[in-house]
Structure 1
């Protein structure tokens, strides 16, 4: 422990109150404060893959060029398994960034097999101990202050969070004019409903020829029973979500569009479409075709479903029951 944090327990307590997004931000701030680091780039997209952080060291070390650290950041309560390490290594190998080293930063620890896997592939691992040794008092105070302020806000708003989201959803007019507002509201609702255990979602950029508009992507490394089953049965390592601010029921085309993202070697084979009025006959048929022919599972949620999920959350129940029910009905009626 350095003089910057009085006790390791205090730092551990600080991190425990941070969301996965805030934990990433904390790590970014720590790296930007290090004298040995020249530049830090957060959430870069390279070759269609997302990188949490790239930190370039000062000086020249590898092949007379600066070392670039490719950094994966995971805020988990459970142990990091070998699958997470393998995904990180595969992504870094695919990116093939010159003069780079790999660094995994986690609030948790690794399983024995994951540790061996990381060591064999020269992946450095930092836990909270290593971060605590590097955080400055200024950064620590800033985050403690943010947490206290957030707790005060949540204390006054907690009882109305679901009602506020339901009200926001109801105030959006269907159609092209408010499509962006609808997408952002769906983003906010699903983040509130599913994070944790899912990772904080990101907007995915359009592909190179801009044929596919960006979607909402949730990372799914969860050990929660439902989301683990989505990962194991439907290869849902990522949950792809598209939001359609239509005034009519969903047609066939959006089903076909979202399938472009659903690949076993990419995001996986599970997707969600949020559409104001829900699914129509043509989209229902397309969903069956995709499941039977390609093993791609697509769930359509209406505004009514989102409201029911928020009400479940408000009453202390699990909102994923709605998705679970829809999948069960779909498969039992085939």
Structure 2
């Protein structure tokens, strides 16, 4: 049974049925538009469990940034409730980065596709009910899906994986990152203005994207940052970017020109000094910088390809940044 064919509401209902069939009592189930955990359970042993259900229909793996956001949400919910355990149930596999993220939280358990299939095998009545629903979906969508081949890897991901890091390929990396950002965000972002400058004897280029109105995610960022532009800078370094690289993009952000938001693209996750400098940039000058490495860009492309919102990766990073920010 291919549960990926279910919409998110049907999948959440399926999860609730399977958890209930395992002896858990459903105490609460979320309503659309109401913030909170998707399910609250009481286990057979009497423990209270908060459950978050994630179902990306056209996404194979759950990105690390999304998992980080989910675990933060679960922890916050747990402080408002009398909770013993936290549970993430997903129809998606977890990426390597997502598994590393989950391992940081001892009280969060994950149930994935293998648990769903095993639970369906143990509960044939539930399996028959949802198989009938999927059969109906197949009949409705059959004319639409005829002759469609399995999607191959996006060529932008293939190019990024093949491109070597280092100064010898800095120009190709800049060009590729601009193509990736264009693919991810053109409309609502307008086409970028490419600005040349000299750094380390290289003709470095920045991309300055106007943020147009009409997309709720970018509208929120535009208002919160008081920024009409996104400045993107690209570092094809073999080593993780540090404080100097954050200072480089920081100097091209200028709040009075409504240019307060920047994206630093790099091959590897940035170093701790880079994180500290990003904090200083915001606290001292209200310049907000998001740092995207190869893993982040690939996850964003995959989200875009699967019909999901690539801004989720940026939003998760910003939420984490502001949640731990202090004076």
TM-score of the two chains, using structure 1 as the length reference: 0.50
Give, in whole Å, the separation in 1 of the partners of 2:239 and 2:324: 24
Matched, 1:196 2:183: no
Q: Which residues of 2 match residues 166-245 of structure 1 at below 5 A?
A: 166-206=157-197, 213-245=204-236
Q: Which secondary structure does the structure 2 equivalent of 1:215 belong to?
A: strand
Gaps of 5+ in 2: 1-147
**Pairing partner for 1:263 from 242, 254, 269:** 254
CA change 1:158–1:204 in 2 (3 A) is farther
Cα distance, 1:157 vs structure 2: 11
Shift of the alpha carbon at 1:214? 2.8
Matched, 1:246 2:237: yes
2:323 is aligned with 1:332 = yes
Q: Match for residue 98 of structure 2?
A: none
Is the 2:187–2:212 contact (alpha carbons within 8 Å) kept by the matching residues of 1?
Answer: no
Q: Secondary structure at the match of 2:259?
A: coil
Residues 83-98 of structure 1: pairs in structure 2 closer than 5 A? none
Q: 1:229 to 1:176 in 2, by over 3 A?
A: same
Deviation per CA, 1:212-247: give whole Å up to 9, x if none. 943011111222111111211112211100010011
Corresponding residue SS for 2:270: coil
Higher mean C-alpha displacement, 254-263 vs 179-188: 254-263
Residues in 2 aligned to 1:203 and 1:176: alpha-carbon distance in whole angstroms: 19
- Structure 2 matches for 1:71-90, cutoff 5 A? none
Shift in Å, 1:205: 2.8
Which residue matches 2:9? none
Q: Which runs of 4+ in 1 moved over 4 A?
A: 156-160
Alignment of 1:1-334 (within 5 A): 159-160=151-152, 163-206=154-197, 213-334=204-325
In the superposition, relative to structure 1, how do residues 243 and 157 fare at CA in structure 2: closer, same or farther (>3 Å)? farther
Distance between the aligned counterparts of 1:172 and 1:213, measured in 2? 18
Kept after mapping to 2: 8 A contact 1:242/1:273: yes
Contact kept, 8 Å, 1:204 with 1:215, in 2: the verdict is yes
Distance 1:202 1:287, change over 3 A: same
Equivalences, count: 177
Deviation at 1:202, TM superposition (A): 2.5
